[in-house]
Structure 1
Amino acid sequence: MTFDTIIRGGEICTTTLRTRADIGIRDGRIAAIDDRLTGAETVIDATGRIVLPGGIETHAHIAQESAAGVMNADDYFSGSVSAAFGGNSSFVPFAAQQRGQSVASVLDTYGARAARSVIDYSWHLIISDPTPEVLTRGLPMAFERGVTSFKVFMTYDLVKVDDRQFLDILTTAGAHGAVTMVHAENDAMVRWMNEKLAAEGKTAPRYHAESRPALAEEEAIHRAVSLAKLAGAPLFVVHVSTPGGAEIIAREKAAGTAVFAETCPHYLAFTAEDLDRPGMEGAKFICSPPLRDTATQEVLWENITAGTFDCVSSDHAPYRFDETGKFINGAEAPYPKIANGMPGIGMRLPWLFSEGVVAGRISLEAFAGLSATSAARVFGLDTKGDLAPGFDADIAIWDPEERWRVTLEDQHDNMDYTPFEGMEITGRPVTVLNRGMPVIRDRVLCAPEGQGRFIARKPLARAI
């Protein structure tokens, strides 16, 4: 047997396998895993390294306009390069429907933008205008094209759907085996708090956390789960940031409800105190739901360990710290007018490896699941997320012992800051393959622009 590439001598780790062996790759797929393989054009020495499934980032905003029309900083080239340096071999950003826009137009727009990606990609389709045409033709068409996940917002004026519209989307998605994702915050609570704080003159970045209380998330998660159960449809709750929200997810999972969820590194790495940094520095940490406190972080870690969360995703939302991004409404804008989101696609996995695996909070097998395998299972990437014959050769080779300090330059994105600046990290991806082709080799970009391909994903029912 001959191979295009052999990865030799590494410690292979998946959710179910941990062994030292070689991986043989042929025609972009894993062809064999054995003790000693020979006969390859290219041999990658992975001695002393850990060989993991390539990361699958399933929550990122790339070349996406906000509801207010603000384009974020990363296009599909810079965003995919940053993802690859962070150990990812594929990603599923969002394709956002603006009100009045057809689904076909959305997918065509993002198809043109994504053609620059160096890693494989798909999209979650954000639905803000669920007209009869969208429900009866648009969403089924997207599903037929392999876009098998849709997202709704329960807040934000220009994109939110009401409960009736949410039920319609859930029903349509469920009938096709698609999963509906939800940004769950109680819109009325948030509006009321914003008005209250504004009347009191509390508009600095530090008040952003107070404006979106934990109760707003917890109530909305409970309501979203209730709607999904009524519709008999699966639900994925994004960026869970509260103990109460995690408790609802854990309880429903235990009861057999088809509910999935994620949390994000920034809720584990930062707190609301970071919003109170000098001057307007706190604006760098404005995201929604907002950062919480250290007690919440401990509970979120407990839920990661317990399996409440299927993924730990970046929610990469890159707005530069200038007038094109965070301060598009002015350098002294009140917090509700500051662009909402934090960058992190390149730090998701290094941070989770360092603070999770190295710190002893999670096992390496759990890391493989949180970084890739569960995302592949839930979102229908049926040839990705595992290391086994027949799977795409999407592989990340890690140096588990390298100690390094985070800098902006390490991120390889279009941002002018990283919230992780200066953090000491242990463990780093050094080589990343996508379908057997090197994207990063010894921490050097070697993939041409446009190497990535669109992934037509499978229905949830087939993926689970």
Structure 2
Amino acid sequence: MFDLVIHNGHIITASDVLPPSVYIGVKNGVIQTMTTEILQGKKVIDAQGALITPGGIDSHVHLDQDNAPTGDNFESGSRSAVAGGNTTILPFAIQPKGEYDFQKVVDDYHKRASVGSYCDYGFHLIVSDPTTESLQQLSQMIAKEGITSIKVYTTYPRYKLNDSQLLELLLETRKLEMTTMIHAENSDVIDFINGKLQEKKMTGTYYHSVSRPLEAEDEASYRVISLAKVIDVPILIVHMSSETALSHVESAQRNLVPIYAETCPQYLFLTSDYLKQGCCHHKGHGEDPFEGAKYVCSPPLRQSQSELDGVWRSIQNGTVTVFSSDHAPSQYDNPKGKKLGLVDGLPHYKQIPNGLPGIETRLPLLFCYGVETGRITPQKFVELCSTNPAKIYGLSDRKGTIGIGYDADFTIWYPKGEMKEFILDNEMLHHDIDYSPFEGMKFTNWPRYTILRGQVAWDRDNGGVVNKLGDGNYLKRGPSTLAGPMKEINPILA
């Protein structure tokens, strides 16, 4: 007798599609067997011919950050995550400049997460002020906290590192086999254009996209790849927004250089036109001239549908490694949220908090507009949303696929055509944000069940979020298994 039995669904991994005749038997939160023999369980779920995918891993989310006081905390963010098919999230512990005790930084984020989580979670560490002494603490982060990934920036005054700092940091992360995530935009280009726009009083929401042109991402992407090649270390460039920048990743990959790319839903579905007056499908469009502030994120939304199609091509041809939400929300109708950008009644795009909500809509968007339209295969969907995130962030020993010995994390969808189509309204979502950038879009499918370690966390037809706050565990992670063994380090650098 198993704790949970799932059957009659197409089981999808990054490489295979197993037929509905295969039964999955779960005991003590782990997949115990997969067999064509009929199994008995205390709870049995008939998938009714639908796709069964591994639980989603959203490996890039921002929760309870000081720079977003109106954003989601761990309670609302993780609730929204499971409602969107996710069983694991990886938010960020941020080193403020001048704080050189990484343990203190991480302890602070453990405290923020102590409210509980509906899904499993781990931390990345954002390094904004590296010193020789602080970098020596990274080995402690691995040993004590299981934090095996860091994020750095080439832009934003409070976070950005120069090339020399990046090289020192990459050398250290290479020695420790940590995954380095890089936000790649040229800060000087952005500052230069910002200055010209301010002089001309061009401060409306649309000018956010003008201030961060394709060239800023293009140059910085090429540059950080070059720095990685100097150190001979894998890196992942986060939230890539253009085929132009992604072409540098593709070129490196063709030459067997381990460079990885992440993209996000906003770069597949939204253009900079939304920055002018908000979503053309949203009710009340045109009534609020500041509504474009809802769509301020960095890198910015790009100009044309052809640029969105270019990112789709980079997903289809394998250049994109992971698909994350970059959930970085701020409430819109709040003076401490997006409305910070209204100064004396006038819009100032530089004052608008960056980021979009998207933790709940990430998987359904790619499933509906990718898998169900035939734009990508179900296997590619799993690779991008579960398997590769588990591999690159040190969770592939237990997460990211459906197999014996793995955590019993599943997302079960509706059979194609069986769910009533709907138009998304923000009130349907479970975050603590007063809008969604994807309101007005049509959805043909949604997670029917989200199952976390053998327990149903989300049952769309019977209660919604049905597990408890605190059911999610903190995850200590190992090194990336995606890059493979590295060559011996250059003795000059050792």
Interval of TM-score (by shorter of Structure 1 and Structure 2) = over 0.9
Which residue is 1:357 aligned to? 371
What SS does the aligned partner of 2:364 have?
Answer: helix
- Name the counterpart of 2:93: 95
- Retained in 2: the 8 A contact 1:154–1:183? yes
Task: Measure the CA separation in 2 of the matches of 1:333 and 1:159.
Answer: 25
- Partners of 2:364 and 2:37 in 1: how far apart? 29
Shift of 1:140: 1.3
Paired residues of 2:12 and 2:379 also in contact (CA < 8 A): yes
Determine if the alignment matches structure 1 residue 306 to structure 2 residue 314: no
Any conservation in 1 of the 2:7–2:24 contact (CA below 8 Å)? yes
Displacement, 1:462?
Answer: 7.6
Name the residue aligned to 2:438. 420
Residue 98 of structure 1 aligns with an amino acid whose one-letter code is: P
User: Is 1:218 equivalent to 2:232 in the alignment?
Assistant: no
**Counterpart position of 1:33:** 34
Counterpart AA for 1:39: Q
Aligned-partner Cα distance in 2 for 1:281–1:268: 20
SS of 1:429's partner is: coil
Distance 1:457 1:36 in 2: 34
Q: Deviations over 1:385-437 (max 9, x none)?
A: 00000000011111143222211122200000011112111111011111112
For 2:489, the equivalent position in structure 1 comes to: none
Q: 1:463 deviation in Å?
A: 7.5
Match of 1:74 in 2: 72
Map of 2:487 onto structure 1 = none
1:209 aligned partner? 209
- Partner of 1:328 in structure 2? 340
Of residues 420, 441, 453, the one that matches 2:473 is 453
Deviations 1:269-322 (A, max 9, x none): 110111111400110111000001211111111110000001111111110002
Residue correspondences, number: 459
What are the Cα deviations for residues 79-117 of structure 1, in whole angstroms up to 9, with x where unaligned? 011111111111111111111222101111111222311
Match of 2:451 in 1: 433
**SS of the residue 2:8 aligns to:** strand
Matched, 1:384 2:412: no
Per-residue CA deviation, residues 5-64 of structure 1 (Å, 9 max, x unaligned), is 101211111112212122100111101111233231111121132111000001111111
Q: Tell me, what secondary structure is at the counterpart of 2:413? A: strand
What residue is the counterpart of 2:488 in the other structure? Answer: none
Query: Is the CA contact (8 Å cut-off) linking 1:12 and 1:51 kept in structure 2?
Result: yes
| Alpha-carbon distance in 1 for matches of 2:469, 2:169 | 35
Counterpart amino acid of residue 343 in structure 1: P
CA distance in 2, matches of 1:463, 1:38: 38
Name the amino acid aligned to 1:58: S
User: Relative to structure 2, which stretch is displaced further, 82-91 or 97-106?
Assistant: 97-106
Displacement after TM superposition at 1:461 (Å): 4.6
Amino acid paired to 2:141: A
1:67-216 equivalences in 2 (<5 Å): 70-101=68-99, 102-115=101-114, 116-137=116-137, 139-144=138-143, 145-216=145-216
Name which of structure 1's ranges 350-359 and 34-43 shifts more when overlaid on structure 2.
Answer: 34-43
Q: 1 CA distance for matches of 2:341 and 2:272?
A: 23
CA distance in 2, matches of 1:422, 1:243: 26
Q: Could you list the per-position Cα deviations for residues 117-158 of structure 1 after superposition, in whole angstroms to 9, with x for gaps in the alignment? A: 110001111000112221112x11112221111000000001
Root-mean-square deviation (CA, aligned residues, Å) is: 1.4
1:221/1:75 CA distance change after superposition, 3 Å: same
- Matches of 2:7 and 2:269, distance apart in 1: 35
Counterparts of 2:341 and 2:266 in 1: how far apart (Å)? 25
Contact 2:392/2:482 (8 A) holds in 1: no
Q: Distance in 1 between matches of 2:79 and 2:479?
A: 28
Aligned residue number for residue 369 of structure 1:
383
Q: Tell me, in whole angstroms, the C-alpha distance in 2 between the residues paired with 1:122 and 1:342.
A: 21
Q: Which runs of 5+ in 1 are unaligned?
A: none
The code of the aligned residue for 2:103 comes to: A
Q: Which runs of 5+ in 2 are unaligned?
A: 278-285, 485-494
One-letter code aligned to 1:460: S
- Judged with a 3 Å threshold, the aligned counterparts in structure 2 of structure 1 residues 142 and 397 are, in CA distance, closer, same or farther, namely same
For the 8 Å contact 1:65–1:72, the answer to whether it is kept is no
| Paired position in structure 2 for 1:283 | 293
* SS of aligned partner of 1:427: coil
* Matched letter for residue 152 of structure 1: V
Structure 1 residue ranges, 4+ long, deviating more than 4 angstroms after superposition? 461-464
**1:324 Cα shift?**
2.2
* Aligned counterparts of 2:483 and 2:24: Cα–Cα separation in 1: 25
> Is the Cα contact below 8 Å between 1:316 and 1:342 reproduced in 2?
yes
Secondary structure of the corresponding residue to residue 272 of structure 1 = coil
1:59–1:313 CA contact under 8 A, matched in 2: yes
Paired letter, 2:40? G
SS at match of 2:359: coil
Report what 2:305 is aligned to: 294
- The residue type paired with residue 297 of structure 2 is C
Tell me which amino acid in the other structure corresponds to 1:81: R
The letter for the 1-side match of 2:460 is D
Structure 1 counterpart of 2:492: none
Task: Give the conservation status (yes or no) of the 8 Å contact 1:56–1:375.
Answer: yes
Q: 1:172 Cα deviation (Å)?
A: 1.0
Once the two structures are superposed, residues 361-390 of structure 1 have per-residue CA deviations (whole angstroms, 9 ceiling, x without a partner) of 101111111110111111111210000000
Counterpart Cα distance in 2 of 1:22 and 1:439: 20
SS at the partner of 2:169?
Answer: helix
Deviation for aligned residue 1:460: 1.7
> Secondary structure of the equivalent of 1:428?
coil
TM-score (norm 1): 0.96
Q: Which amino acid aligns with 1:419?
A: P
- Of 32-41 and 198-207, more deviation after overlay is shown by 32-41
